[in-house]
Structure 1
Amino acid sequence: MHARLLADLEAAVQMGSLHLRSSPFVTADPEAWRKAGRPDVHRDLMDHGDQVLNDLLGMAPDRKVTVLRSTAVPATLDLLGRLGAISHVVSAERLDPRPVTASYGSTYPARLLDSSGVAHPALVADPDLARHLINPRGSVSAAQHLLADLALLAWSDPTVTRTAIVTMPEALVVDALTLDLVLGAVEDAPFLHLRSLPELFEASLATDAAAAVTYELWPEPVTPVSRRATDRSLAETAVAAYTAILGGPHPDAAALNDLLEVTAAAELDGDAMDAYLSTVYDTVSGVLDEFTTPANQSVRLTARRANLPFTIHNGLNTNARVVLVLQSDGRLDFPEGDAIEAVLVPGRNRIAVPVRARTSGDARLRVTVRSPDDARLLQLQSVQLMVRTTSLPGVGVALFIGALAVLAIWWIRLARVRSSRT
C-alpha cells in the first residue's frame, strides 16, 4: 500500500500536478511546544519532515500555507510565520465570532491577527465536511455524504463559484479505504474543480479581498508537554555526548535523533514515549562498555618530568573522540593541563600523559575517560595508576644542598661554643 502511494505521488510530482505542503515529521502541536519553551522542537520536526519528503519525492514542500490546529493562538501565528507560513486554513469552530453558517463562511477569505496585531490571510474550513470522513456507517457512507454536501454547496447558486476546504479531522484516524473512496469521488465529480491551497488563496484574495472578515482565534486547551520537554532535554544531552564521541554527525547518532523526534508525536502516551527514550538511553549506555583498560597500569619514573603510558581499548568499529581528565593526590603536576583530548582508533590505544613529579616516592594518578562534549557527560572509563618515583636528580640536589646547609650551621654553632669556652 505504501509503495503504491509513493509511486502515485512520484508520478504526480513528475506531471507537475501535485502541491506538496510541508508538515512535521510526526504529528505535533506547535502551540504546545511553544508554551513548553521548546519551539525549536517544532522547527526541527518541520525541517525533518521536509527532508524526508524531498528525499522520497525529489520535491521541496511548501511552507507558505498551514492548517491551524485547534489550539492555535496569536503567538502560534508568530511561530509559524518564523518557519515560513504566510497564509492559514482555520476551522470555523475556532473563530470568534463564529461564522453564521460554516459553509457560507468558507466561501470568503478571512484575516487572523498575530500577537503584534499583524493580519494574516486565512481561509475558513467547514468542520461539518471534515466530520464526514469519520462517518460511523462506513467508508461508502462517508464518501456519499461528503459528495452530497459539496453538491448542495455547488448548486445552491450555479452562477457563483464557491470555495470549500475539507481538512482531516484533528486527532482522529481516517482509514485508507475511506480516504481512497473520497478522493476518487471528489476527483470524478463533474461539479467540482480541485485546486491547490496556494491557488485558492490567490483566487480568493484577488476576488474577495475586500470581503475578508477579521476574526479572533477561539482555541481549545493545550495538552501540556512540559514533561515531554524535560525528558527530551535530558535525552538530547545524552545523544549530544554520544555524537561528540563519534566525532560529529554520524548515522548511528542520526538514528537516535530520529527516535527522539518520534517522542514528540501527539499520539504517544507516557508509556509509549518512555519506551522510545529507554531505547535511546540503552544505546548510549552500551557505548560505555566498549572502552576497557588493563587492571594494573603502575609505572615507574626515573626523571622529574616524563610521559606516562596510558593504555585503553576502543571496542567500537569507528574512531572515538574522548577527553582524559587527570587527578593527582598532590604529588604530581600536569604541565600541559589536567585534560587531554585524544582520538581512539578501534582496538588498542597507547596515550602519552605528561606529568611532573614534585617529590620522590609513590603517587596516585586517576585517569577518567569522558565524552568530549562541553559537559563531559559520559564517563567511559576510570582507572587509578600507581606512579613510583625512584630517583629524581633535581630532588637529590636539593636534598644535598639542604644537608650541607644543616652541617654548616652545626659547624658554626660548634665553633662558637668552643671559642667561648677558651
Structure 2
Amino acid sequence: MQITRQSPTAQAGGSLELVLQLPGVVADDDQIIVTVHEPVVNEAAFLRSIEGQGLGGVLASRTVDLWDLDPDAWGLVAVEFPLSSSDKNAIRIARPGVYPMTVEMRTGSQELIGRIVTHLIRLGEEPSQKLPVVLVTKISNSPDNTDTSDVVALWLDVLAEHADIPVTITLHPNLLDDISNGAAEIRFQNIETLHQFVHSSFVPTNEATLEDAGLSFELSTLLELGSEQLRRLGTLAPPTLWVGHGSADAAQVDHRWARGIREVIVEASSLSPVPPQAPRGPVEVLGADANVRALIVDRLSVKERHDTSASQAHRLLAHLATIAFTEQPTPLIVLDLSADARDVDFAAAFLRGLSNLFLVEPVPASAAITQSLLLEDGELQQYRLRTRLSSTTEDFTGYREAQRHLAAFRSMIRDEDAAEHNEMAQDLLFSLSSDSSPLDQRALWESIVSDVRGQTSLIDIPPDESIQLTSQKASVPFSFQNRADIPLRVELRIIGEKLTVEDFDDGESTTLVLGPGVTTHRFQLRALGSGSFPVTIELHSPDGGLLVGRAQAAIRATTPTGVGLGLTIGAAVFLAVWWIIDTKRRKARLS
C-alpha cells in the first residue's frame, strides 16, 4: 500500500484527503483504518515517529470499509475525513502542530495487510518569524534512462510553475540541445522567476583534473560557453557561488577559489570528519589552500521503502514544519531537491506543498550565504573538506594529439571552409566532459586524428624523380595534385646540402595555395656543386604542426658551377703557360 496524493496542510474546518494505491488483491470486507496521534514535541520525536516509534496517545481513529471506498480499475481509492477543533464527529486537532498518523489496511478478520506512517500538518495563524529554507537542485541525466530532453523539459515546467519560490539551479547547457526550440524552454525564458542558475561549464567537468592536466584554457572556454547559454535562459547566480551536489572536496574547492569562487554549498558528507548533524547556517570550510563561506545541505527525511514521490515530499514538508514549530532560535535549512535520486515528480509535489506551508520562507542561496557566520562559544564554526575523491591521473595524450592535428588542419583551410573543422573542434572540447567514459574519449580523439590525416592525404606530392640542371641556375617546375573539393594551404620545403631555392620566402620554405586539381609552381634552383646529389621535398601544414607529405629527388648538375668553372680556367691557364715555357726550352736546345 502507498500514498499517491495527500493534503499538504490542514486547518480546523477543513478536511484530510488521502489517495491510496492498494495492493494487487483486495476483498470487499477489507478495511482502511486512519489513526491520528498527539503532535510531536521536537525533531527527534518526529524522526522516531517515521519509524512508527513513540507515536504518543491516540487522538482519533476512523475506520472505513473498502466496499464503501469503491476502488478504481488501477486500485486507487480516495479517503477523506473532516477536521475540527471541537466537533465530535470529525477528527479533532485542537492546536497547530505535526501529528503522526497511521494508515492501516486490514482484512475483515483484522489481519494486518499493510501499514504506513505519515503526518498531518495542522496550521494556525501565520507566524511572525518563519523558517528560512534554501533550495538547490541539479538537473541532470535521468537515472532510469528516461529521455533526457523530457527530463529537462519537465524540470523547467515545474520550476516555471513555481516561479515565486527561489531555487538555485545547476544545469549544464549541453542538456538543452535537444529542447532548444521546445515549449518548456521558451516558457521558462518568457516568465519572470526568482530562480538563479549557477555559473556552469557547457558540459559537466572535473575542474581539478583538467586544471592539473594543464587544460585551463579549455576549462575557461567551457565555462564561458555554459554561462552564456544559461544567461539566455534565466538569471545567473553571483559568479562567486558554486554548488557541489556531491562532488565537493578540498581539491575541487581550491581550484575554484583560484578562479574566484568564495561561497559554496556542499553536503555534510563532503566534510571531514562528517558532522553528526549538518550545521544550520553559514559556516567556514577549509580546503588545502583556501577558506570559503559555506552552506551545508541538510538530509532531511530520506526515502522509505514504500514511498512514492508524493509521500516522500509530504514527509519532508512535515519535517520542515516540525522544525518551524519547535526550534528556537530559527535555524537556516538547506535542501537539495535532486539529492538521493529524487526526481522531478518529487520536486513538483514538494514545491506544490511548500506553497501552502506559510511557516516556511524560501530564500535565495546567494542571499542566505552572506548572513553572519555561525558561532560556537564565541568562535567561528569551521569545518575541513575531505581530501580529493580520486587521485587517479587521467591521460590526455590522445586529446593533445587530436588538438595538434586540428590546429594543423585549420591552418590549411580558409575561414569559409572551416565548418567541418569547427564541428570536430567542438566535439573535441566537449569530450572533456566528466560524463564521457575513457573508452569513448579515446575513440573520439583517434577518429579526429584519422579524419584529419584523411583530409591531408588528398594532397599528392611529386613522386621520386631525377631533376636535370644544365646550368648553374634554372627555373624548375613542381606539380602538386589536390584531390579535395576546397583549396588547401601548405608550406613547401626543398631541402638539399648542395642546393638553394632563390625565390623562397625565407630561403628555406614558401607557402602555397593548392586549388582543387593540379597546381604547378616554378622555382629558381641554384646548384652549389656539380654531379648528382639528393634533395628532399616536404609539404607541411602552415603552422608547422603536421607533415603532409615527403618525396625524394635526385639533382644532376651537368654544367660547371662558378667554383668548377674557375678551376677549369685555372687549369687551362696553367697548361698554356707550361706549354709556352716548354716550347721556348726546346727552341733553345736546338739553337
Q: Which TM-score tier does this pair reach, normalised by the shorter chain? A: 0.7 to 0.9
Unaligned runs of 5+ in 2: 1-149, 151-178
- Residue of structure 1 in register with 2:438 after alignment: 270
The residue type equivalent to 1:407 in the other structure is L
Find the partner of 1:235 among 386, 389, 402.
402
- Residue of structure 1 in register with 2:569 after alignment: 401
Q: Tell me the matched-pair count.
A: 406
Q: Does 1:88 align with 2:258?
A: no
Shift of 1:216: 1.2
The CA deviation string for residues 131-152 of structure 1, in whole angstroms up to 9 with x for no partner, is 65x9895544443444443443
The residue type equivalent to 1:235 in the other structure is A
CA distance in 2, matches of 1:212, 1:339: 67
Find the partner of 1:31 among 202, 208, 227.
208
**Bigger strand fraction:** 2
Q: Residues 174 and 263 (structure 1 numbering): CA distance in 2 closer, same or farther, change over 3 Å?
A: farther
- Residue of structure 2 in register with 1:334 after alignment: 501
CA distance in 1, matches of 2:306, 2:555: 78
Q: Residues 318 and 21 (structure 1 numbering): CA distance in 2 closer, same or farther, change over 3 Å?
A: farther
Find the partner of 1:67 among 227, 231, 243.
243
TM-score (norm 2): 0.58
Find the partner of 1:48 among 225, 229, 249.
225
Q: Residues 147 and 69 (structure 1 numbering): CA distance in 2 closer, same or farther, change over 3 Å?
A: closer
Show the 5 A alignment for 1:6-405. Answer: 6-12=185-191, 15=192, 17-54=194-231, 57=233, 62-68=238-244, 72-102=248-278, 105=279, 107-116=280-289, 119-128=291-300, 137=307, 139-157=309-327, 160=330, 162-166=332-336, 168-169=338-339, 175-178=343-346, 180-182=348-350, 184-186=352-354, 189-202=357-370, 204-205=371-372, 212-219=380-387, 221-222=389-390, 224-227=392-395, 229-246=396-413, 250-293=418-461, 295=463, 300-328=468-496, 330-335=497-502, 336=504, 337-373=507-543, 376-389=544-557, 391=559, 394=562, 397-398=565-566, 400-405=568-573
CA distance in 1, matches of 2:187, 2:409: 39
Aligned-CA RMSD value: 3.9
- 352-361 or 293-302, which moves further after superposition? 293-302
Q: Residues 192 and 58 (structure 1 numbering): CA distance in 2 closer, same or farther, change over 3 Å?
A: closer
Unaligned runs of 5+ in 1: none
The CA deviation string for residues 81-131 of structure 1, in whole angstroms up to 9 with x for no partner, is 2323221112112224544422xx1x3101123545x532111112457x6
CA distance in 2, matches of 1:155, 1:167: 22
Contact 1:324/1:367 (<8 A) preserved: yes
Secondary structure in 1 aligned to 2:199? coil
Q: Residues 183 and 257 (structure 1 numbering): CA distance in 2 closer, same or farther, change over 3 Å?
A: farther
CA distance in 2, matches of 1:393, 1:377: 37
**Bigger helix fraction:** 1
Contact 1:135/1:141 (<8 A) preserved: no
Of all paired residues, the percent bearing the same amino acid is 22
The residue type equivalent to 2:293 in the other structure is P
TM-score (norm 1): 0.78
Contact 2:492/2:509 (<8 A) preserved: yes
- 83-92 or 402-411, which moves further after superposition? 402-411
- 41-50 or 67-76, which moves further after superposition? 67-76
CA distance in 1, matches of 2:589, 2:230: 107
CA distance in 1, matches of 2:528, 2:193: 77
CA distance in 2, matches of 1:139, 1:115: 39
CA distance in 1, matches of 2:443, 2:552: 37
